[in-house]
Chains A and B, each alone.
Chain A
Amino acid sequence: MAKFEFKKENSNATEKIAMSGIIDEDVDFNILKLSDTGNIEIDLKNLKSINSCGIREWIKWLSSSKNSQINFVNCPKIIVDQINMVDGFLPTNAIVSSFFVPYYNEENGTEKNILFRLGHEYSQNGLNSPAKVTDDSGAEMEMDVIESKYFKFIKK
């Protein structure tokens, strides 16, 4: 089971946190105290899963930093799902700078996660998804999410 781990560093006045593993009841966010001002970047690329206790802890943790500017990068699907469903999972002082969108090719059964970046593949006005995504064999892949649900947060 992927244990929760994090790395924290300060770079150019930005507090950078990279998380990996599973966020559940065993995660103690107290050791990851956030500053209440300045910029915070949270990289979620290697986050594997989150359960209901983890969701509650996450909300509590982020609400402790109301005056900072939080920037989520590399959000996996599991995080996008929570952002879309739970109030406060993405606090008002936070934005999603990039997130992954699963793609799938039905014939080959290939899966791929494509990073959508703010200002490139999406903006507050909507999506600007890549015209064509292919797998390693060159076969065209289709977006593997329900668009009306998955991209709901963009217009939130």
Chain B
Amino acid sequence: MENAKVLIIEDDQSLRKSMLDAFEKKGINALATAGTEEANQVLNSQPIEYLFVDCLLPGMSGDEFVIKVKRDQPDKKFKVILMSGIYTDKSTIQDLLKKTQATAFLKKPFDLEQVLSLVKSAVEPKENPLKSLYHIFSKENLTTREKRKIIDSVDEISGYDLPFIYSLLAETKSSGYLNIYFNETNVSGITFSNGCILGVDIEDKTTYIGEMLIQSGFVSTDDIQKALQSKNNQRLGQRLISSNLMSPHALEMTMMEQMNVRLAKTISDKKVKINFASSEVELTQPSIDSEQLLLYMHDWIASKIPISWLKNLYAMWMGHLIIPTPSFKLDHPAMKMSLIKSLSGFPGRLNNKTSLNTLLKVPDYNQTALYKALHFLHTKGLICFSKEIHFVNENENLDFINGVLAQIKTMTAFEILQTYGLAKFNNKESAKAEIVNIIGPRPTSENPKLIKVWEDARLIIEKAIQTLSTEAKQKMEKEAEEDEAANKVKATQLVDEARKELLMNLYQPALEKLKEAAKLNTNIFQFNIYLAWAKLGTALPKKNKETLKEVEMDLMQISPDERYDALYPYVMGLYFKAKNDLLNSKKSFDKALAMDTTFISARRELSLVEMMMKKNKKNDSIFTMDLKDMVTVLFKKK
């Protein structure tokens, strides 16, 4: 065996075998010899870290052997654990420990758990590192070291995990630099001071402050030119203020929005590595404080994180209890956010401890909104999950396992490993230990139906775990990536065709294409804008309330970085028009035209809305309206 971590020197064959089996089960590479001669050869050929040695061996005794190796080969560094059933008195043990510099002494007979506990820094952490990260809010009073350790333990994460990291650093009032590595040559960074975000450094030309000031309508291109002509070393924003072309407040607002858009851009399906360098950082303005971050976080989770990713993430907690943390309050500002409000009675249900599995059965709950709302509260540290799976009764248990079984029966081995976070493990035994967190422990009940489904599910998951090897994982990952890339190409084509149809007012075929694209990949720039546009186009003539509700959900899923062109205000204009809010509709079409003067559809809609407004105004004439309406018009609060 290559690179064994542990060497056992024990002449008792049965003990030797038991110890080897115990290490193997824990995924720790171990070797065993019956005598010192063979052990010497192993020590010369492998970087052994732990040496378990019996004191009474035939020939040279165990302690003498250790002293000899340490004397002859001082460069060999390993921890020594002495074992004996004969030497058991305190003074002899102390003497042996001193002579051999051993770290422990095991009196025979000993428990194998004792042996394993001595080899603490085993090959990998017992828990999936990502799970440890998302469990972080279940631990109170985390020290800086613990936070750092958890962030350090996470190797490669998805860009979709980043809001959780941002929130973690904000909630725990961290100061320092979060460095994000998108690949080995592209590094971005976020600066934190006492939990506030002060700066976002990403390479992105679309969020230059000048561009954003123009798009927000604070300055014109001419103003920028004028400011750039002024001869000083100030940054553009400061030059605009010094030249009285813009107010400091406008600059502050735009800089905050710049940070928001840049942070949103980091949240993607790309794999990233992170590293937090804690440091004292002076708090400067503008900064994103926890209040502002709450709004942004809601926006990012609603708009950037795909439902498929959330389903994967929460599969491992499906049957676990959702526990409100001490920060959870029914009047917490988070409870007023759209995602939470879209689910009636949601905070109350959480307060009474429930599980995702139960919440998914609430008839009126939109699944996307539910996952996103849950993730939002989890990210804010307002809820966490119980360590163990929980069922109220046997029926719920059966129901749950049946659900898992139905799902995993349709999945490939790789999909099972990915969905339940098992692909992160390098060792099959550690992965198998996770099964109880997926389907719960083997039911203690006598119910044969329950036992059968549990066993069936366990077998399928175990079979998937058997495929767990680095080569197999790489192969499966590559295949999955290729499938995903092919799906994305197909989805992009469909969205592009739908866009052309939308421009020709062919809403129904466009909607069908977008729905087809959604099955393949929704992670396409401005997808939700097109979807909302198509739905509004088909709904407008009927003013279908259900469709409007769906559109609201689509609009909620448009991310900040997708709003910086004429299309977004145009679709917002259509939405307001569908809701009969003509004033806001007009404002939105005006904005779309200000951004793109050649946008013919926006011009046509603007004319239509203006005509409707005129008509309404006529109808609102106090000479033609009834008394009640007249009183409302004359006395309503402006």
Contacts and interface: CB of A to CB of B under 8 A. Distances in A.
Interface of A: 1-2, 22, 24-25, 48-53, 55-56, 78, 81-82, 85-88, 104, 111, 126-132, 140, 142-147, 149
A104 B149 CA distance: 12
B581 interface: no
B242 interface: no
Contacts of B189: 51-53, 55
Residue among A49, A82, A145 with the most chain B CB within 10 A?
A: A49
A100 B278 CA distance: 17
A22 B279 contact: yes
Interface residues of B, number: 34
B604 interface: no
A104 B282 CA distance: 29
B279 A82 contact: no
Contacts of B155: 149
Contacts of B273: 85
B77 A128 contact: yes
Interface stretch (B180-188, B363-371, B406-414): B180-188
Given A51-B179, A78-B277, A85-B181, 17 more contacts: A2-B280, A24-B177, A49-B279, A52-B201, A55-B179, A55-B189, A81-B275, A82-B179, A82-B275, A87-B184, A127-B47, A129-B77, A130-B77, A132-B79, A140-B103, A142-B121, A146-B152
Given A52-B177, A87-B185, A143 B121 contact: yes
Residue among B153, B179, B185 with the most chain A CB within 10 A?
A: B179
B116 interface: no
Interface in B115-157: 120-121, 145, 149, 152-153, 155
Interface string B165-192: 0000000000011011100110111010
B187 A52 contact: yes
A144 B153 CA distance: 11
A147 B121 contact: yes
Given A88-B185, A104-B145, A128-B75, A49 B177 contact: yes
A132 B101 CA distance: 9
A84 to B, nearest CB: 9
Contacts of A128: 75, 77
A149 B275 CA distance: 12
Interface in B595-621: none
Contact of A50 (B149, B177, B180): B177
A48 B278 CA distance: 9
Contacts of B103: 132, 140
A149 B155 CA distance: 8
Contact of B184 (A50, A78, A85, A132): A85
B281 interface: yes
Given A82-B275, A126-B47, A146 B201 contact: no
Contacts of A49: 176-177, 277-279
Contact of A131 (B79, B120, B121, B278): B79
A111 B191 CA distance: 26
A88 B185 CA distance: 8
B78 interface: yes
B68 to A, nearest CB: 16
Given A87-B185, A126-B47, A128-B77, A51 B277 contact: yes
A130 B77 CA distance: 7
A127 B153 CA distance: 20
A128 B47 CA distance: 9
Interface string B266-292: 000000010101111110000000000
A1 B179 contact: no
Nearest to B200: A52
